[in-house]
Amino acid sequence: MTEALRDLARCLYRHVQTEHDHLNSDEVIEDDVIANGYTFTEPGLRFG
């Protein structure tokens, strides 16, 4: 039983890690910035 729970935990962790990596990818962040109309100053501070 313990090993089955560990396998499940590993599987869930891999899924969460994959989703985290996807949501923090340059492509997804760029799409979010464009979709929400965010603008930034040259040093990278949010403007407007």
Residue spans per domain, the chain: 1-25
Spell out the residues 6+ positions from residue 41 whose beta carbon is closer than 8 angstroms to its own: 47
**pLDDT for 4:** 97
Residue 43, classed as helix, strand or coil, is coil
**pLDDT for 48:** 76
Per-residue pLDDT of 12-31, as tens digits, reads 999 999 999 999 999 999 99
| Mean pLDDT score, 23-42 | 96
**pLDDT for 1:** 94
- What's the predicted TM-score (pTM) here? 0.69
